[in-house]
């Protein structure tokens, strides 16, 4: 008898296909007002071209992570995906949430951070663990290493009026 795999139980390959689209949705939400918000908080502000360059680079890295998983489906590709999504989605989402709490106002990107980034990231990490692609300790380690630069960058922006890069 044929069985149809559950849509809620995709392979990591299939699940990762959504990552670039989710990132683009976040970029679109942020785009119109993030530079203005950022420059109101950080003395050494950013320009629109820099904002676009950083985000285009992040999209290219996201696509490369997806392609690597499709080509190899290895321990390395799974660990890299966890690390990258920990920076791109998890730590970035926490940055938006904390910044909104500190400001007491909407921060551009907050809606997609809450509605897309956090649920997708949780689903992805849960699938990595369910599929036993990585031991839990490696998942935690990759997530911590991946998220650290964004945690530092976010802290500097919100609490110090500075930036990491």
The domain ranges of the chain are 12-160
Q: How far apart are CA 58 and CA 32, in angstroms?
A: 18
Global pTM? 0.92
The runs of H, that is alpha helices, within 17-88 are: 18-30, 34-41, 48-72, 75-85
Residue pLDDT tens, the chain, 165 long: 455 455 568 999 999 999 999 999 999 999 989 999 999 999 888 999 999 999 999 999 999 999 999 999 999 999 999 999 999 999 999 999 999 999 999 999 999 999 999 999 999 999 999 999 999 999 999 999 999 999 999 999 999 999 887
Q: Which of 66, 64, 65, 59 is nearest to 30 (CA)?
A: 59
């Amino acid at each position: 008898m044929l069985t149809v795999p559950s849509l809620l139980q995709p392979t990591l390959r299939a699940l990762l296909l959504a990552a670039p689209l989710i990132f683009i949705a976040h970029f679109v939400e942020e785009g119109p007002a993030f530079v203005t918000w950022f420059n109101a908080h950080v003395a050494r502000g950013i320009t629109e071209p820099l904002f676009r360059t950083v985000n285009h680079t992040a999209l290219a890295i996201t696509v490369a992570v997806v392609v690597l998983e499709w080509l190899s489906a290895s321990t390395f590709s799974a660990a890299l995906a966890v690390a990258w999504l920990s920076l791109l989605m998890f730590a970035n989402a926490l940055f938006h949430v904390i910044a909104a709490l500190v400001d007491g106002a909407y921060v551009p990107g907050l809606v997609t951070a809450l509605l897309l980034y956090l649920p997708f990231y949780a689903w992805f990490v849960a699938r990595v663990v369910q599929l036993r692609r990585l031991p839990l300790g490696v998942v935690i380690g990759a997530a911590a290493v991946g998220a650290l630069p964004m945690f530092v960058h976010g802290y500097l922006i919100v609490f110090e009026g500075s930036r990491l890069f």
